[in-house]
Amino acid sequence: MIAYARSQVGKRYVHGGEGSRGGFDCSGLTRQAYARAGMRLPHSSGAQASRARRVPRGQARPGDLVIGPGHVGIYMGRGMMIDAGNRRTGVSYRKVYRGLRVARIPGS
């Protein structure tokens, strides 16, 4: 999951994208990364968030979801994440910013 997310950095943002059209939206990236670990997630940030359990940031592990209003990314460790933020940033590696929470999909 982590290696897959890292390999997508630099790809463009595509609304509804799951990589097949050359880019991703936020939940498409997390969906495809989790699929590499054998876990099926829906293509919706809200639906992914509803399946996850909140964990304190101090207990965050690489591969956890980073969730905000209408947004989701993958926690990479050391306060960093990978997400498909928007058309300007595309898939990028960046700091977990204020307003996001960390959550874990059971079994991950």
Please give the pLDDT value at position 22: 84
* In contact, 28 and 90? CB cutoff 8 Å: no
Q: What pLDDT shows up at residue 21?
A: 75
Residues 6+ apart with CB under 8 A from 78: none
**pLDDT surpassing 90 at residue 20:** no
- Judged against a pLDDT cut of 80, whether residue 89 lies above it is answered with yes
Q: What span, in angstroms and rounded, lies between the C-alpha atoms of 15 and 12? A: 10
Which numeric CATH code is attached to 2-104? 3.90.1720.10
At residue 64, the pLDDT reads: 98
Quickly list DSSP for the chain.
-HHHHHHTTTPEE-TT-BSTTSEE-HHHHHHHHHHHTT----S-HHHHHHH-EEE-GGG--TT-EEEETTEEEEEEETTEEEEE--TTT-EEEEEPPTT-EEEE-TT-
Residue 70 has pLDDT above 90, yes or no: yes
Beta bridge partners of 91: 84
pTM value is 0.95
